[in-house]
Chain A
Amino acid sequence: MTEAGIPNPRTDPVFIGIDVGSTTVKAVVVDPVTHQILWSDYQRHQTKQAEKVMELLVAIGNAFPNLPPGSIRSFITGSGASPLVAPIGAKFVQEVNAVTLAVERLHPDVGSVVELGGQDAKIIIFKEAKNDKGESTGKTAIASMNDKCASGTGATIDKCFLKVGMPSEDAMKLHFDDSKLHHVAAKCGVFAETDIVNLVKGGIPKDEVLNSLADAIVLQNLSVLTRGNTLKPRVLLLGGPNTYLPFLRECWQQRIPETWRDRGYDYPKDVPVEELIFVPPNADLYAAFGAAVYGIADGGDAGRFNGIESLKDFITNGRRARLGEQAGPPLSANEGETKTFVDMYRIPKFVAPALAAGTTVRGVIGLDGGSTSSKAVVIGEDGEILAKAYQLSKGNPLQDTKELVRKLVDHFEAQGTTLEVLGFGATGYAADVLDETVLADVNIVETVAHMMSAVHFFGDIDVVCDIGGQDIKVLFMKNGDIQNFKLSNSCSAGNGMLLQAMADQFGIPVTEYADTAFQAQLAPKFSYGCAVFLDSDRVNFQKEGYQKEELLAGLAQVLPKNVWQYVVQIPRLASLGRKFVLQGGTQYNLAAVKAQVDYIKQRVPDAEVFVHPHTGEAGAIGAAIETLRRYKRTGKSRFIGLKGVLDLEYTATTNDSTTCHFCPNECKRTFIDAKRPDGTSSRYISGFSCEKGTVESKDAMLALMAERKKTAAAFPNLVDYEANRAFVHLYDAAPLPPAGTPVEDVKVVKSLFRVKHEKVTRGFRRSSAEAAQRRKSLRVGIPRVLNVYSTAPFFRAYFETLGLGRSNIVFSDQTSEEMWVEGGKYGSIDPCFPSKVAQAHVHNLLFHHHEPERKRQLNYIFFPILTHVNNFVKDTQDNASCPIVAGTPDVMKAAFTKEVDFFAQRGIEYLAPALSFQEPILLAKRMFETFGARLDITEDENDHACREAWHAFDAFDKDLQEKGRAILETVEAEDRIAILVLNRPYHSDPGLNHGIPEEFQVLGYPILSIRSIPKDREYLDRYYKDELERGVIKTPLELNHVWPENYSVNSAQKVWGAAFAAHHPNVAVLDLSSFKCGHDAPTYGLIADILQTAKTPSAALHDLDANKPGGSIKIRVKTYAHSLRLQQERLEDLTGKKRELARRIDEKRLELLRLRQAQLESVKQKDAALEQSIAELAEKVRAYSAPPPAAEPAMGIMKLGKKMPDGSIQRIGAVADGAAPNTQKPTTEVAASAAE
């Protein structure tokens, strides 16, 4: 490189390469003859790409003062390059091509390249192309870039660094250490950030957090970006993060060789890893250099440098000229409008009421431990807000709480008053730990806290929209309580962070956001959605020449779209009501408020939109109000007191001793041990992903498990039961008939025009005894995925009937995170998780269930292409599987035979025939084509096995439906609620549903699966009486009147399930669906319509993915539990009303009969029967006044019963422990959950 300031006297032509990236601009000056870099520079552009490029060009001019005009050629690359092409006169070079050229020139021996840029990540793998004779015909570069997702890019790292708060000079000294890694979801930059925040809050040391982040990013890139290819050595690491962060580099150096070993790739083991995987000098400049190399290679005359005048002109005039037509209107038409709005909506500054010195103030504290900040309020006995405190989170909830309380105490002390605390309530992330340590009186979920606060200030409202830093909560109210809600926990679209981050990008304090945005005269139209997508829009718009105030205005305008269209998804806002309350910290930003108000008013012209007067503290206020209410009712508090909090001592420990060993997850937990001043102590455990993590010792663990088992047993979970039951032996097949047993067969006679079927009777054909013997030891592996979940009993019974050993029919394990981490790197595509995870299952079979050394080798892996499966819905157009679900077996075949044939390597044959459960005859034929020769069976044996397999299928159904019926009849008799999980069969996999049904089971709700709903008309008809009578349907198993496009079998079943729930008063719905599920998406609105019309309570989680969204699940479960409790009350009311109706009718009847008696008497007649009836009825009516028998506690142990013909419920047997009974003798007990 040239030293700055010393001009180069060169006069020979030079080539300039410029790389305009998302955050930086790089430029090199290259000698076209020697390819030597003569000059280079690297600058952050702070979104002023054009200006920065000009600055660099000027610098080049100064560095080479003697270059004659016309001897400079310029080539430009990078995501921000294209608008600058014309002004500079440069030629555009696509980035990956530029990097490829640079690498080919500088490192001909490199096999692959990993470049992490600001907004993109690229992987280039050089493959040797060979001709027919196997001779090399040169290298081809296979490149992949992240398409539209920020996962695994520099942007993710940048964002997370801010959260961790480690100074960059320290980060540059950090080394990779994989001994203490924590879970970080690198799937999405936003998820990663959430995890990082939680880790920091959990007191995990910064270096561990950053190492975990590096590991997650590396694994994400290895599993997704390589598209299933193996990175070939030597591996070149490029881009800013790889250059500046040694721990990231070291992480690559550790993880890449692991993939080589896993895949049996032969890499040079004698070369030190630092040479195999390395960062070259000037790693930042490769793209810029490559652009110049392209120009040199291109020959021609392209890229003749224009000089900087036209660039200057572009910066001042050209850029903005074409914006007008594409842009949308600004936030305000004029200053007047802005002023009126601001005057109306500016939140008055809170002034704490003055208190007389020397007094003692009585009040309660409400504390909201939020994700980015914590707030506390003191509310007096009369409900007045006496003080507020705010604290940016420092990562430890106890520390935050102590500091907040300190601030409150100081506030009162400063006025010479004393605060007497009557109670303490908590909400938010910190609520649980405060419950435990400071003995909070109230621990409520945020949604409920927000609702209470809004109702406190505005009374009868319809919608509460809370936009916080990390999430959006929209609550729909009815009669002063939450009727429904929508949350956006797993996605940052439209939350406060987004605005904050954007303001940061422009170096504007968020407090000045609104003032800046109101200045805009126009605003770019962002498309709403993922925060990361918005950011790439932002880059585009900036490139087009929009200024910061316009971008900020545009972004404020996209916020309501994200809230109402992306999160809430109810386009007809008017259907929600007309009184809206906006709250949450984001409402301080009046640009956002204006956009919201305009959006709402446009759609609901008579809407009243309020902004909460204490918008940031709504949660804390809600907690305080509930605390006050409780205090007033009980007069008690268990709170340890202000001094107790201030003197609270705690230690946070995260090390080997706190790791949870109760399952292979090995969660790294943090123990927060708090010692209260009175000497008592408590331990709060954070960082676990399941309840097992809440205990410290093995004994406690066993106690907890026993407790859970008891609860689970009491509240059966048929989703879980179905998921286990489908794969175990459940049917004793009829043995193969002896040879010669007469069988009916059909002979097919084909002639030119027709095909005739002739019935014949002949003897059953058997295969040899040797063949049967051989079959006993054959082992077949089947991935436990997708529609195998609904068809496994068929396949197991088929193989069992043919004499394969029961333990030789091997299903892969249930999905788990380790399994995914281990086996999830083979796919080249990124579909929904359920189909993506199939690779981990095939891997699991190949690497764990194929054990030739123990003589337990797999002979076949059978992964059928299930084009059609069975359906109980009667009038569907077709019963097709989703095309991805059906096609995945072929995708797996490609993935595992692409570079290495993993099947052939192990002597396993991979079988993926296309099967349709709609066509039993074709199915039998295909099974025979697949297994006839391989299992050495006759077609008769095949057909017999298929028949038995169908019986097993039916037995499975029957068993489930019996259990479902028991649950339904019990809840109905006891006014309780059962939760029907609407899902595709494979969501029964606990690794896919992330144990969400279990969360409800533990709360005391029995769980039903769609398959377990009784399908016999004797049961169903009464719920559909009205429609049957009106002739809308012929049988309850119809769907066309609800949804005609019902060809997707699993979607049709989900919709039918929703309709069933809508007909059954005691069934609530939990709707689970995977991110990217193409067959579920069109039914979202439909299912919501069905359930809303019938007012059936429901909760939906539509974006399930590989990562367990722990926080998101928790808040949903808690809030939904609140709704379910209300529903339970409604059911009880309903029973009361029904009783009242019966009583009123009897009374009326008595009245009428007496009237008739009077009439008879008036004509001097008597009717003995009538008098008898009157006497009986009078007795019955008298009985109504007697006190009703004490009701069983609603949340007690659920005892399953069967409804008897007389309407009574007969209790049935105890609950079995896990072991699945054999259905040959149908039993009615419900097996407890999982643990096999």
Chain B
Amino acid sequence: MTQSMMSDGSSTKRSLPIAGRKNETLDVDAELARFEAEERARLGLAQEEQWVEKMANLMFTKKEKGKITLLIGGLTMAHDYLISGAFRSLGYNVVPLDAPDYEALRAGKEFGNRGQCNPTYFTVGNLIKFLIHVRDKGGLTSQEVVENFVFLTAGACGPCRFGMYVTEYRKALRDAGFDGFRVMLFQQQGGLSQATGEESGLELNPPFFIGLLKGLLAGDVINGIAYRLRPYEVVPGSTDAAVAEAKKICYDALYEKRSILRALHQSRKIFEKVEVDRTIPKPKVAIIGEFWAMTTEGDGNYQLQRFLEAEGAECDIQFVTAWLLYNVWEVRFDTKNRTLLRGKDHGKLGLAGTSDFHAFKMKASLWAADKAIRVAFQTFANVGGFYDYHLPDMDEVADVAAPFYNNDLRGGEGHMEVGKLILNVVKSKATMTLSVKPFGCMPSSSVSDGVQSLITERYPGTIYCAVETSGDGAVNFQSRVQMYLFKARQAAVEDFERALEKTGLTLEKLRAFLKANPKYAAGLHKSPHYAGSTPADLVHEVAEVVDLTPAKRTLFLAQKKAKGVLDALTNAAKDAPANTRSAAVLFAQAAAELAEIAKEKAPGMAESAVNAARDRLAKVLPFTAQRPVHEPVVAAAE
């Protein structure tokens, strides 16, 4: 029909007066469109609306920064508190949320989806609980709460439900009346600077991550010391008092941008004053399992750590630092597996789009990251007085787990639960291993536990307790733990008595020695690892020196130290030729390759490029500059 009018060129061009309205054009199409819209509305034929997520990826601007309060939470209380100090020093208003409690769980259940895992209910509920409190008790409107608060949390991209927390946060926030509330994420594997846009008030830049890292490391060290002291403290409550003091010192240092190491050093002096008695046999319980359940200190795990200590155990906890190492391991492992493929796959882990140098760069930077984390941790630990702690070797954990739990399987702790249990047993690192997981944890309850049943079968005598926190009634949970703890306590006593028997030491003699040599009885003193529990370690350590005169003892210790150094030197010397050779090969290979690469990239400028590259390389591998470029490639020594 439009056709027929268009064909009539002359008439459409002319203005036609509408009857009754002079000098107006009759535009049939416009008139019809208007009519159609009216009719559609009348008949109820309007287009159905479609759901669009409007709360995703919200941010706040630099302008808003001043009035925004950042809410953080999710780690231990020490961590959250210290990190809040670090962030405040960057000009943010920060409030760390309390450890989630049952009230949080109830809020999570009211506003969350059904069938969630417990950390979701607890953490989501914790935020909602806080916001409702701010609104109802603080006299703010919902809109003001939305405008003035932002929640900052770690994000992930699956494969377990952890990556979907944000979906839950949004649903719960919306249903609780906080539509538009901003939840901001930083990715765990995103590296030291993540794109947040120029206008973003939250800058995920190196200072942000360095502050975060300092808080994490200091938190780990303080927690580590506390768990070593508390079970053996002579004056109940003295450890907690020291912890509170130390946390404050470190917080202030972070907030005032002073040296955190100095603060840790001051903390050490405080911890040194806590008196302990390590002559009472206590089982060492390694807590593994799902990250949140084993980390939280609130109702989320029925205050598991405190419960274990009250039941007469020493807790061996996992550190956030170890989690960082696991993240580094993941990337390293995945890259390694794909480096030599005959092509580059797409997909999240595929190497499509990366350069030929990608694998090397990744390997180097991840190696550096791993070492940097370890060095930083050891520095913090030594300064703070957390002596002789060995962060897990991630490759070892992966290797022992691999026959049972495929290293490609991810989610939660991945293969680590299985790997850690095996290592705990094989290396008698703990009297008992307790794997705690929240109700509904996918990787832990439904995969790891299934595999662990085989591990306990392969290693009979293992005291291994896997337990789920349902959030309902602590009785069953604690009863289950007690069931295993009973055996662990027996084992710890046997362990201790065996140590005494084996070394010929008696309890009286041990105590007398400790009285005479307070260094060995000091709270921060760490006996070398002999058996699964600390008191037994102490017996072994003391037995070696108990009958020596002070002078001989000094000599003995010096000799022992010297032997250690000697062993290292001997090994070094033994390995030296091989090391030298491989260094030479490495260098030669490197040089030849550089030349080749340079030629390929800019044939005319090969020489200068090689020199430039060599200079750059010299900073990484000091021996490069000493050799000529043209030496032929030596065949690889292997």
Contacts and interface: CB of A to CB of B under 8 A. Distances in A.
Interface string B568-606: 000000000000000000100110011001000000000
Interface stretch (A247-255, A956-964, A1039-1047): A1039-1047
Interface stretch (B158-166, B205-213, B392-400): B158-166
Interface residues of B, number: 119
A104 to B, nearest CB: 13
Contacts of A832: 446
Which of A140, A565, A828, A1084 has the most CB atoms of chain B within a 10 A radius of its CB?
A828
A921 B161 contact: no
B590 to A, nearest CB: 5
Given A140-B461, A865-B408, A1076-B440, A1042 B52 contact: yes
Contacts of A868: 347-348
A1081 B473 contact: no
Which of A566, A1045, A1153 has the most CB atoms of chain B within a 10 A radius of its CB?
A1045
B476 interface: yes
Which of A539, A920, A1152 has the most CB atoms of chain B within a 10 A radius of its CB?
A1152
Contact of A752 (B337, B440, B589): B589
Contact of B473 (A537, A1085, A1144): A537
Nearest to B36: A1145
A920 B345 contact: yes
Interface in A180-220: none
A1062 interface: yes
B269 interface: no
Contact of B449 (A829, A925, A1153): A829
B360 A754 contact: yes
A1080 B164 CA distance: 10
B237 interface: no
Interface in B308-358: 337-350, 355-357
Nearest to A229: B453
Interface string A78-111: 0100100000000001111100000000000000
A1032 B50 CA distance: 11
B310 to A, nearest CB: 12
A1211 interface: no
Interface in A874-924: 877-884, 886-888, 890-891, 893-895, 897-899, 912, 914, 916, 918-922
Which of B19, B159, B360, B457 has the most CB atoms of chain A within a 10 A radius of its CB?
B159
B411 interface: yes
Interface stretch (A54-62, A126-134, A680-688): A126-134
Interface string B77-102: 00000000000000000000000001
B359 A754 contact: yes
B454 A898 contact: yes
A1079 interface: yes
Nearest to A1137: B43
Contacts of A1081: 113-116, 161
Interface stretch (A143-151, A264-272, A458-466, A502-510): A143-151
Contacts of A828: 449-450, 453
Interface stretch (B10-18, B251-259, B379-387): B10-18
Contacts, number: 387
A894 B404 contact: yes
A922 B590 contact: no
A1134 B471 CA distance: 49
A855 to B, nearest CB: 32
A912 B460 contact: no
Contacts of A925: 341-342
A338 to B, nearest CB: 26
Contact of A884 (B26, B348, B356, B442): B442
Nearest to B587: A752
Contact of B446 (A96, A835, A1137): A835
A532 to B, nearest CB: 10
Contact of B35 (A82, A886, A1102, A1145): A1145
A829 B450 contact: yes
Given A128-B460, A890-B405, A883 B410 contact: yes
A227 interface: yes
A919 B347 contact: yes
Given A147-B480, A890-B404, A1093-B51, A129 B114 contact: no
A1042 B55 CA distance: 10
A890 B447 contact: yes
Contacts of A867: 159, 408-410
A537 B472 contact: yes
Contacts of A127: 460
Nearest to A138: B461
Contacts of A142: 456
Contact of B470 (A147, A1042, A1152): A147
Given A828-B450, A884-B442, A919-B350, A1090 B343 contact: no
Contacts of A1102: 114-115
B445 interface: yes
B106 interface: yes
Contacts of A755: 339-340, 356, 359
A347 B29 CA distance: 64
B138 to A, nearest CB: 20
Contacts of A1159: 16-19, 26
A753 B440 contact: no
Interface in A835-879: 835, 865, 867-868, 877-879
Interface string B127-167: 00000000000000000000000000000011111011011
A1170 B442 CA distance: 71
A1148 B157 contact: no
A634 interface: no
A1063 interface: yes
Nearest to A1081: B115
Given A750-B339, A753-B590, A919-B345, A1041 B167 contact: no
A571 B176 CA distance: 8
Contact of B360 (A537, A566, A753, A1062): A753
Interface in A302-318: none
A1041 B52 contact: yes
Contacts of A890: 404-406, 409, 447, 450-451
A1082 B113 contact: yes
B297 interface: no
A1 interface: no
Contacts of A747: 342
B164 to A, nearest CB: 4
B364 to A, nearest CB: 9
A1044 B57 contact: yes
Contact of A883 (B8, B443, B461): B443
A946 B617 CA distance: 42
A527 B105 contact: yes
Contacts of B482: 94, 97
Which of A827, A882, A1153 has the most CB atoms of chain B within a 10 A radius of its CB?
A882
B352 to A, nearest CB: 9
Which of A94, A1084, A1155 has the most CB atoms of chain B within a 10 A radius of its CB?
A94
Contact of A748 (B47, B340, B450): B340
B56 interface: yes
A1089 B51 contact: yes
Interface in A130-180: 130, 137, 140, 142-143, 145, 147-148
Given A755-B359, A757-B343, A1169-B4, A1149 B32 contact: yes
Contact of A143 (B36, B106, B483): B483
A189 to B, nearest CB: 16
16 contacts: A93-B486, A145-B483, A148-B472, A527-B472, A566-B114, A748-B341, A754-B593, A890-B406, A916-B347, A918-B350, A1044-B166, A1078-B115, A1081-B115, A1102-B115, A1156-B28, A1159-B17
Given A748-B341, A918-B349, A1148-B35, 11 more contacts: A82-B475, A96-B483, A129-B461, A569-B114, A747-B342, A753-B590, A828-B453, A898-B453, A1042-B52, A1137-B43, A1156-B26
Of all A-B residue pairs in the complex, the 3 with the closest CB atoms, nearest first, are: A918-B347, A883-B411, A887-B447
